[in-house]
């Protein structure tokens, strides 16, 4: 009897039952869902940080303008306040040169309104040197003086429209391909009206791929092309007009 029992046991094969396999699959799916959810939370927190930075820099800009009656970067009396530490702008109430775009951050920092130290002699986009760092790797802010209607539509008919001062997201290069249309819409809805061509924020795309039309005719009613999952957008945030 013992021999027969032994042989019977030896003939059995070990393995997972259907219940055990089901449990393993459930565990794997939960882990995968947790990883995906975690990535989404990290990405959303970075977008939130970007939004907070937009508001922070707007506040710093307004405080600077109220105190010095000038635009940072364009301030033509900067050396009177910070001798030997920075360059002056031309006092034209615009940001018109690569030097003034760097001085924009330099003047705000010297006034104690933002953190960091910026090299006003570096006209290129060098993150951490001429432009501030952000929560997104390789992404920074830069000021520019442009016409919203032209930048949105890239229509030469709007080239000489009213210009305003904006700060926008950029990569070194420079490159404006920073966010997807969906992410840009998320920021726009949180801080403005969620429309890519109107309001305080507009969505720029050099390839005209951030919105569905990117035309002057549709500028007031255009919508973000959220079906496009590529990083083709840069949100432009109005500071001064």
On the question of pLDDT at 1 being above 80, the answer is no
Q: Tell me the sheet residues that pair with 143.
A: 167
The number of C-alpha atoms within 13 Å of 41 and in the hemisphere containing its C-beta is 6
Q: Nearest to residue 167, comparing CAs of 92, 107, 95, 224?
A: 95
Give pLDDT, residue 33: 64
On the question of pLDDT at 88 being above 60, the answer is yes
Q: Which tokens go with 204?
A: 């720029």
Give pLDDT, residue 27: 77
Burial class from Cβ neighbours inside 10 Å (0-12, 13-18, 19+) for residue 2 reads: exposed
- Over residues 228-232, the mean pLDDT reads 96
Residue 4 falls within a domain, yes or no?
A: no
Residue 232 falls within a domain, yes or no?
A: yes
Strand arrangement of the beta sheet that strand 139-146 belongs to:
139-146, 164-171, 234-240, 201-204
Residue 27 falls within a domain, yes or no?
A: yes
- Over residues 180-188, the mean pLDDT reads 97
CA 215 to chain centre: 23
Q: Nearest to residue 204, comparing CAs of 237, 239, 160?
A: 237
Q: Which tokens go with 240?
A: 């001064």
On the question of pLDDT at 15 being above 60, the answer is yes
Give pLDDT, residue 12: 53
- Residues contacting 20, CB < 8 A, separation 6+: none
Work out how many domains the chain is built from and give that number: 1
pLDDT greater at residue 4 or residue 164 = 164
Q: How many Cβ atoms are within 10 Å of 148's Cβ, its own excluded?
A: 23
The pTM for the full model equals: 0.83
The string of pLDDT tens digits covering residues 143-152 is 999 999 999 9
Residue 11 falls within a domain, yes or no?
A: no
Segments forming the whole domain that contains residue 63: 20-68+111-240
- Over residues 151-167, the mean pLDDT reads 94
Distance, CA of 188 to CA of 199 (rounded, Å) = 9
Write the DSSP symbol of residue 158.
G
With a pLDDT cut of 70, the percent of the chain lying above it is 89
On the question of pLDDT at 11 being above 80, the answer is no
Residue 184 falls within a domain, yes or no?
A: yes
Residue 7 falls within a domain, yes or no?
A: no
On the question of pLDDT at 129 being above 90, the answer is no
Residue 13 falls within a domain, yes or no?
A: no
Burial class from Cβ neighbours inside 10 Å (0-12, 13-18, 19+) for residue 230 reads: middle
- Residues contacting 48, CB < 8 A, separation 6+: none
Contact status, residue 240 vs residue 61, Cβ threshold 8 Å = yes
- Over residues 42-64, the mean pLDDT reads 95
Distance, CA of 53 to CA of 216 (rounded, Å) = 30
The string of pLDDT tens digits covering residues 191-218 is 999 999 999 999 999 999 999 999 999 9
Q: Which tokens go with 236?
A: 């432009």
Give pLDDT, residue 97: 80
On the question of pLDDT at 233 being above 80, the answer is yes
pLDDT greater at residue 107 or residue 12 = 107
Residue with tokens 């820099």: 57
On the question of pLDDT at 99 being above 50, the answer is yes
**Choice among 28-42, 123-137, 141-155, 223-237 with the minimum mean pLDDT:** 28-42
- Over residues 142-166, the mean pLDDT reads 94
């Amino acid at each position: 009897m013992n021999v027969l029992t032994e042989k019977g046991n030896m003939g059995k094969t070990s393995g997972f039952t259907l219940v055990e396999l089901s449990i393993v699959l459930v565990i794997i799916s939960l882990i995968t869902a947790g990883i995906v959810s975690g990535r989404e939370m990290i990405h959303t927190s970075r977008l939130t940080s970007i939004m907070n930075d937009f508001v922070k820099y707007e506040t710093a800009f307004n405080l600077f303008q109220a105190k010095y009656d000038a635009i940072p970067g364009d301030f033509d009396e900067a050396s009177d306040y910070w001798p030997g530490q920075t360059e002056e702008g031309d006092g034209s109430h615009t940001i018109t040169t690569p030097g003034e775009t760097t001085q924009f951050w330099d003047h705000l920092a010297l006034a104690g309104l933002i953190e960091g130290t910026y090299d006003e002699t570096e006209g290129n986009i060098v993150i951490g040197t001429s432009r501030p760092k952000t929560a997104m790797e390789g992404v920074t802010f830069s000021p520019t003086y442009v016409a919203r209607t032209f930048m949105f539509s890239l229509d030469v008919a709007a080239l000489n429209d009213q210009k305003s001062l904006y700060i926008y997201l950029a990569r070194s290069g420079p490159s404006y391909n920073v966010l997807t249309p969906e992410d840009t819409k998320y920021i726009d809805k949180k801080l403005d009206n969620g429309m890519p061509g109107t309001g305080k924020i507009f969505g720029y795309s050099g390839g005209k791929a951030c919105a569905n039309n990117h035309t002057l005719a549709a500028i007031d009613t255009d919508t973000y092309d959220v079906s496009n999952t590529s990083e083709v957008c840069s949100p432009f945030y109005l500071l001064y007009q």
